Chain A
Protein backbone atom coordinates (compact mmCIF):
# COMPACT_ATOMS: atom_id res chain seq x y z
CA UNK A 1 0.00 0.00 0.00
CA UNK A 2 1.40 3.45 -0.86
CA UNK A 3 2.55 5.58 2.05
CA UNK A 4 0.84 8.76 3.24
CA UNK A 5 3.02 11.10 1.21
CA UNK A 6 2.33 9.24 -2.03
CA UNK A 7 -1.41 9.13 -1.32
CA UNK A 8 -1.37 12.87 -0.65
CA UNK A 9 0.42 13.62 -3.93
CA UNK A 10 -1.85 11.29 -5.97
CA UNK A 11 -4.92 12.86 -4.32
CA UNK A 12 -3.63 16.35 -5.06
CA UNK A 13 -3.18 15.56 -8.75
CA UNK A 14 -6.59 13.88 -8.96
CA UNK A 15 -8.18 17.06 -7.55
CA UNK A 16 -6.37 19.06 -10.25
CA UNK A 17 -7.44 16.57 -12.93
CA UNK A 18 -11.08 16.64 -11.84
CA UNK A 19 -11.13 20.43 -11.60
CA UNK A 20 -9.52 20.65 -15.03
CA UNK A 21 -12.19 18.40 -16.54
CA UNK A 22 -14.89 20.67 -15.10
CA UNK A 23 -13.26 24.01 -15.88
CA UNK A 24 -11.80 23.22 -19.31
CA UNK A 25 -14.36 20.92 -20.90
CA UNK A 26 -17.52 21.38 -18.80
CA UNK A 27 -17.56 17.67 -17.91
CA UNK A 28 -19.15 18.39 -14.55
CA UNK A 29 -20.17 14.85 -13.47
CA UNK A 30 -16.95 13.08 -14.48
CA UNK A 31 -14.79 15.93 -13.16
CA UNK A 32 -16.62 16.03 -9.84
CA UNK A 33 -16.25 12.24 -9.41
CA UNK A 34 -12.49 12.42 -10.06
CA UNK A 35 -12.08 15.44 -7.76
CA UNK A 36 -14.00 13.74 -4.91
CA UNK A 37 -11.79 10.64 -5.25
CA UNK A 38 -8.79 12.96 -5.15
CA UNK A 39 -9.99 14.68 -1.97
CA UNK A 40 -10.62 11.27 -0.35
CA UNK A 41 -7.10 10.05 -1.19
CA UNK A 42 -5.61 13.37 -0.06
CA UNK A 43 -7.38 13.21 3.31
CA UNK A 44 -6.46 9.51 3.70
CA UNK A 45 -2.82 10.36 2.99
CA UNK A 46 -2.79 13.13 5.60
CA UNK A 47 -4.47 10.75 8.09
CA UNK A 48 -1.79 8.10 7.54
CA UNK A 49 0.99 10.69 7.89
CA UNK A 50 -0.53 12.04 11.12
CA UNK A 51 -0.95 8.52 12.53
CA UNK A 52 2.68 7.69 11.71
CA UNK A 53 3.92 10.93 13.31
CA UNK A 54 1.92 10.17 16.49
CA UNK A 55 3.34 6.64 16.58
CA UNK A 56 6.88 8.02 16.17
CA UNK A 57 6.38 10.50 19.02
CA UNK A 58 4.91 7.93 21.44
CA UNK A 59 7.71 5.39 20.73
CA UNK A 60 9.89 5.17 23.89
CA UNK A 61 13.61 5.69 23.40
CA UNK A 62 16.53 4.51 25.54
CA UNK A 63 18.33 7.84 25.17
CA UNK A 64 18.57 9.72 28.46
CA UNK A 65 16.91 6.88 30.37
CA UNK A 66 19.80 6.55 32.77
CA UNK A 67 20.52 2.95 31.76
CA UNK A 68 24.11 2.26 30.76
Chain B
Protein backbone atom coordinates (compact mmCIF):
# COMPACT_ATOMS: atom_id res chain seq x y z
CA UNK B 1 0.00 0.00 0.00
CA UNK B 2 1.48 3.35 -1.01
CA UNK B 3 2.04 6.29 1.36
CA UNK B 4 -0.71 8.27 -0.37
CA UNK B 5 -3.19 5.41 0.12
CA UNK B 6 -2.34 5.11 3.83
CA UNK B 7 -2.64 8.89 4.23
CA UNK B 8 -6.00 8.83 2.43
CA UNK B 9 -7.34 6.20 4.84
CA UNK B 10 -6.09 8.27 7.80
CA UNK B 11 -7.61 11.52 6.50
CA UNK B 12 -10.89 9.80 5.64
CA UNK B 13 -11.09 8.22 9.12
CA UNK B 14 -10.06 11.50 10.81
CA UNK B 15 -12.78 13.48 9.03
CA UNK B 16 -15.45 10.80 9.47
CA UNK B 17 -14.76 10.13 13.18
CA UNK B 18 -14.38 13.82 14.10
CA UNK B 19 -17.58 14.81 12.29
CA UNK B 20 -19.60 11.87 13.66
CA UNK B 21 -18.52 12.40 17.28
CA UNK B 22 -19.06 16.12 17.02
CA UNK B 23 -22.55 15.79 15.49
CA UNK B 24 -23.53 13.14 18.06
CA UNK B 25 -22.35 15.31 20.95
CA UNK B 26 -24.24 18.26 19.47
CA UNK B 27 -27.42 16.19 19.02
CA UNK B 28 -27.21 14.97 22.65
CA UNK B 29 -26.96 18.60 23.80
CA UNK B 30 -30.70 19.05 23.19
CA UNK B 31 -30.36 22.27 21.16
CA UNK B 32 -33.46 24.10 20.03
CA UNK B 33 -33.61 23.72 16.25
CA UNK B 34 -37.01 25.31 15.76
CA UNK B 35 -35.64 28.60 14.40
CA UNK B 36 -33.24 27.00 11.92
CA UNK B 37 -34.34 26.52 8.33
CA UNK B 38 -33.36 23.23 6.77
CA UNK B 39 -33.65 21.56 3.41
CA UNK B 40 -33.84 18.00 2.12
CA UNK B 41 -30.06 17.92 1.66
CA UNK B 42 -28.93 19.98 4.68
CA UNK B 43 -31.32 19.51 7.59
CA UNK B 44 -31.66 21.80 10.63
CA UNK B 45 -29.43 19.54 12.78
CA UNK B 46 -26.49 19.69 10.34
CA UNK B 47 -26.89 23.43 9.84
CA UNK B 48 -27.08 24.14 13.57
CA UNK B 49 -24.06 21.92 14.20
CA UNK B 50 -22.03 23.81 11.60
CA UNK B 51 -23.11 27.19 13.02
CA UNK B 52 -22.05 26.00 16.49
CA UNK B 53 -18.59 25.11 15.15
CA UNK B 54 -18.29 28.55 13.61
CA UNK B 55 -19.28 30.27 16.87
CA UNK B 56 -15.69 30.76 18.24
CA UNK B 57 -14.72 32.54 15.01
CA UNK B 58 -17.96 34.52 15.06
CA UNK B 59 -17.34 35.57 18.70
CA UNK B 60 -13.77 36.58 17.82
CA UNK B 61 -15.03 38.75 14.93
CA UNK B 62 -17.60 40.46 17.19
CA UNK B 63 -15.03 41.00 19.98
CA UNK B 64 -12.48 42.54 17.61
CA UNK B 65 -15.02 44.68 15.76
CA UNK B 66 -14.52 42.98 12.38
CA UNK B 67 -16.99 44.49 9.91
CA UNK B 68 -19.30 42.10 8.02
CA UNK B 69 -18.15 43.63 4.71
CA UNK B 70 -14.54 42.74 5.61
CA UNK B 71 -15.63 39.11 5.94
CA UNK B 72 -17.43 39.34 2.58
CA UNK B 73 -14.23 40.65 0.93
CA UNK B 74 -12.28 37.84 2.63
CA UNK B 75 -14.73 35.38 1.05
CA UNK B 76 -14.07 37.02 -2.32
CA UNK B 77 -10.29 36.60 -1.95
CA UNK B 78 -10.64 33.01 -0.73
CA UNK B 79 -12.89 32.17 -3.67
CA UNK B 80 -10.14 33.35 -6.04
CA UNK B 81 -7.82 30.93 -4.23
CA UNK B 82 -10.45 28.18 -4.66
CA UNK B 83 -10.58 28.85 -8.41
CA UNK B 84 -6.77 28.83 -8.62
CA UNK B 85 -6.60 25.50 -6.75
CA UNK B 86 -9.20 23.94 -9.06
CA UNK B 87 -7.35 25.30 -12.11
CA UNK B 88 -4.11 23.71 -10.82
CA UNK B 89 -5.90 20.40 -10.19
CA UNK B 90 -5.50 20.61 -6.38
CA UNK B 91 -8.97 19.23 -5.76
CA UNK B 92 -8.54 18.28 -2.09
CA UNK B 93 -7.28 21.74 -1.10
CA UNK B 94 -9.87 23.41 -3.34
CA UNK B 95 -12.63 21.36 -1.69
CA UNK B 96 -11.94 22.35 1.90
CA UNK B 97 -11.08 25.93 0.89
CA UNK B 98 -14.47 26.09 -0.83
CA UNK B 99 -16.16 24.98 2.39
CA UNK B 100 -14.02 27.50 4.30
CA UNK B 101 -14.87 30.40 2.01
CA UNK B 102 -18.58 29.59 2.25
CA UNK B 103 -18.18 29.71 6.04
CA UNK B 104 -17.25 33.39 5.66
CA UNK B 105 -20.53 33.81 3.78
CA UNK B 106 -22.37 32.43 6.82
CA UNK B 107 -20.36 34.35 9.42
CA UNK B 108 -20.70 37.78 7.75
CA UNK B 109 -24.50 37.61 8.01
CA UNK B 110 -24.44 36.35 11.60
CA UNK B 111 -21.94 39.03 12.68
CA UNK B 112 -24.08 41.69 10.97
CA UNK B 113 -27.17 40.50 12.88
CA UNK B 114 -25.34 40.30 16.23
CA UNK B 115 -23.78 43.75 15.94
CA UNK B 116 -26.82 45.37 14.33
CA UNK B 117 -24.75 46.43 11.31
CA UNK B 118 -26.87 44.66 8.71
CA UNK B 119 -27.78 46.83 5.72
CA UNK B 120 -29.22 46.60 2.23
CA UNK B 121 -25.80 47.59 0.87
CA UNK B 122 -24.25 44.64 2.75
CA UNK B 123 -26.89 42.24 1.42
CA UNK B 124 -26.27 43.45 -2.13
CA UNK B 125 -22.48 43.12 -1.76
CA UNK B 126 -22.96 39.61 -0.34
CA UNK B 127 -25.07 38.49 -3.32
CA UNK B 128 -22.63 39.92 -5.87
CA UNK B 129 -19.64 38.28 -4.16
CA UNK B 130 -21.55 34.97 -4.07
CA UNK B 131 -21.98 35.09 -7.86
CA UNK B 132 -18.30 35.86 -8.34
CA UNK B 133 -17.35 33.07 -5.94
CA UNK B 134 -19.46 30.56 -7.89
CA UNK B 135 -17.96 31.76 -11.15
CA UNK B 136 -14.35 31.52 -9.91
CA UNK B 137 -15.00 27.95 -8.76
CA UNK B 138 -16.40 26.74 -12.06
CA UNK B 139 -13.95 28.75 -14.18
CA UNK B 140 -11.12 27.08 -12.24
CA UNK B 141 -12.64 23.67 -12.85
CA UNK B 142 -13.17 24.49 -16.53
CA UNK B 143 -9.50 25.44 -16.92
CA UNK B 144 -8.43 22.15 -15.35
CA UNK B 145 -10.90 20.03 -17.32
CA UNK B 146 -10.62 21.92 -20.63
CA UNK B 147 -9.47 18.87 -22.61
CA UNK B 148 -12.21 16.57 -21.34
CA UNK B 149 -15.94 16.14 -21.98
CA UNK B 150 -16.41 17.05 -18.29
CA UNK B 151 -15.82 20.68 -19.33
CA UNK B 152 -19.38 20.75 -20.73
CA UNK B 153 -20.76 19.34 -17.49
CA UNK B 154 -18.90 22.06 -15.56
CA UNK B 155 -20.32 24.75 -17.83
CA UNK B 156 -23.82 23.32 -17.22
CA UNK B 157 -23.17 23.62 -13.45
CA UNK B 158 -22.16 27.27 -13.92
CA UNK B 159 -25.24 27.93 -16.03
CA UNK B 160 -27.56 26.21 -13.53
CA UNK B 161 -26.06 28.05 -10.55
CA UNK B 162 -26.47 31.40 -12.28
CA UNK B 163 -30.06 30.60 -13.30
CA UNK B 164 -31.03 29.50 -9.77
CA UNK B 165 -29.87 32.89 -8.48
CA UNK B 166 -31.27 34.88 -11.41
CA UNK B 167 -34.77 33.37 -11.16
CA UNK B 168 -34.91 34.30 -7.48
CA UNK B 169 -33.58 37.83 -8.02
CA UNK B 170 -36.00 38.48 -10.90
CA UNK B 171 -38.93 36.97 -8.99
CA UNK B 172 -38.19 39.16 -5.96
CA UNK B 173 -37.97 42.22 -8.24
CA UNK B 174 -41.51 41.31 -9.38
CA UNK B 175 -42.64 40.96 -5.76
CA UNK B 176 -42.73 37.15 -5.60
CA UNK B 177 -40.89 35.25 -2.88
CA UNK B 178 -38.92 32.37 -4.39
CA UNK B 179 -37.08 30.09 -2.02
CA UNK B 180 -38.01 26.74 -3.59
CA UNK B 181 -35.38 24.52 -5.19
CA UNK B 182 -33.64 21.32 -4.17
CA UNK B 183 -30.08 22.59 -4.63
CA UNK B 184 -29.61 26.13 -3.41
CA UNK B 185 -26.17 27.66 -2.95
CA UNK B 186 -25.26 26.11 0.45
CA UNK B 187 -26.23 22.65 -0.76
CA UNK B 188 -24.27 23.04 -4.01
CA UNK B 189 -21.21 24.28 -2.11
CA UNK B 190 -21.25 21.43 0.41
CA UNK B 191 -21.77 18.77 -2.29
CA UNK B 192 -18.98 20.14 -4.52
CA UNK B 193 -16.61 20.75 -1.57
CA UNK B 194 -17.01 17.28 -0.08
CA UNK B 195 -17.09 15.69 -3.54
CA UNK B 196 -13.75 17.32 -4.41
CA UNK B 197 -12.08 16.32 -1.14
CA UNK B 198 -13.28 12.72 -1.08
CA UNK B 199 -12.63 12.32 -4.80
CA UNK B 200 -8.89 12.72 -4.18
CA UNK B 201 -8.97 10.28 -1.24
CA UNK B 202 -10.98 7.68 -3.17
CA UNK B 203 -8.76 8.12 -6.23
CA UNK B 204 -5.63 7.34 -4.20
CA UNK B 205 -7.30 4.21 -2.82
CA UNK B 206 -9.11 2.75 -5.80
CA UNK B 207 -7.24 4.24 -8.74
CA UNK B 208 -9.04 5.50 -11.85
CA UNK B 209 -12.73 4.67 -12.42
CA UNK B 210 -13.36 3.40 -15.97
CA UNK B 211 -9.92 4.68 -16.94
CA UNK B 212 -10.69 8.16 -15.61
CA UNK B 213 -9.06 9.91 -12.65
CA UNK B 214 -11.19 11.74 -10.04
CA UNK B 215 -14.28 9.72 -10.91
CA UNK B 216 -16.09 10.83 -7.76
CA UNK B 217 -15.62 14.51 -8.65
CA UNK B 218 -16.88 13.85 -12.19
CA UNK B 219 -19.94 12.03 -10.76
CA UNK B 220 -20.51 14.94 -8.36
CA UNK B 221 -20.38 17.44 -11.22
CA UNK B 222 -22.85 15.38 -13.27
CA UNK B 223 -25.27 15.26 -10.31
CA UNK B 224 -24.84 19.00 -9.74
CA UNK B 225 -25.35 19.80 -13.43
CA UNK B 226 -28.63 17.87 -13.52
CA UNK B 227 -30.11 18.93 -10.19
CA UNK B 228 -28.96 22.57 -10.30
CA UNK B 229 -30.69 23.06 -13.64
CA UNK B 230 -33.74 21.19 -12.34
CA UNK B 231 -33.80 23.58 -9.37
CA UNK B 232 -33.70 26.57 -11.73
CA UNK B 233 -36.55 25.00 -13.72
CA UNK B 234 -38.47 24.31 -10.50
CA UNK B 235 -38.13 27.99 -9.53
CA UNK B 236 -39.14 29.12 -12.99
CA UNK B 237 -42.33 27.02 -12.94
CA UNK B 238 -43.13 28.15 -9.37
CA UNK B 239 -42.79 31.86 -10.21
CA UNK B 240 -44.68 31.48 -13.50
CA UNK B 241 -47.59 29.85 -11.67
CA UNK B 242 -47.77 32.55 -9.00
CA UNK B 243 -47.50 35.37 -11.56
CA UNK B 244 -50.19 33.77 -13.75
CA UNK B 245 -52.52 33.46 -10.75
CA UNK B 246 -51.82 37.10 -9.87
CA UNK B 247 -52.48 38.30 -13.43
CA UNK B 248 -55.84 36.47 -13.58
CA UNK B 249 -56.96 37.69 -10.13
Task: List residues of A whose CB falls within 8 A of some B CB.
Answer: 2-3, 5-6, 9, 12-13, 15-17, 19-25, 28
What total of A-B pairs shows CB separation below 8 Å? 51
When chains A and B are docked, how far (Å) is the Cα of A6 from the Cα of B54? 9
Q: Per a CB cutoff under 8 Å, which of A5, A15, A24 touches B90?
A: A24
A17 and B93 contacting across the interface, CB-CB below 8 Å: yes
A23 and B89 contacting across the interface, CB-CB below 8 Å: no
**A12 touching B56 in the complex, CB below 8 Å, given contacts A17-B93, A22-B7:** no
When chains A and B are docked, how far (Å) is the Cα of A27 from the Cα of B141? 22
Chain B: CB-nearest residue to A25: B90
Q: How far is the CB of A8 from chain B (nearest CB, A)?
A: 8
Chain B: CB-nearest residue to A22: B7
Residues of B within 8 A of A13 (CB): 96, 100
10 A-B contacts (beta carbon < 8 Å): A9-B53, A9-B57, A17-B96, A19-B7, A20-B92, A20-B96, A22-B7, A23-B92, A24-B90, A25-B90
A23 and B7 contacting across the interface, CB-CB below 8 Å: yes
A19 and B56 contacting across the interface, CB-CB below 8 Å: no
Residues of A within 8 A of B100 (CB): 13
A16 and B96 contacting across the interface, CB-CB below 8 Å: yes
Task: List residues of B whose CB falls within 8 A of some A CB.
Answer: 3-4, 7-8, 11, 14-15, 18, 53, 55-57, 60, 85, 88-93, 96, 100, 197, 200-201, 204
Q: How far is the CB of A27 from chain B (nearest CB, A)?
A: 11
Chain B: CB-nearest residue to A2: B56
A20 and B56 contacting across the interface, CB-CB below 8 Å: no
Residues of B within 8 A of A2 (CB): 56
When chains A and B are docked, how far (Å) is the Cα of A13 from the Cα of B90? 16
Q: Which of A5, A17, A24 has its CB near the most chain B CB atoms (within 10 A)?
A: A24
Chain A: CB-nearest residue to B22: A8
Residues of B within 8 A of A16 (CB): 11, 15, 92, 96, 197
Residues of A within 8 A of B18 (CB): 12
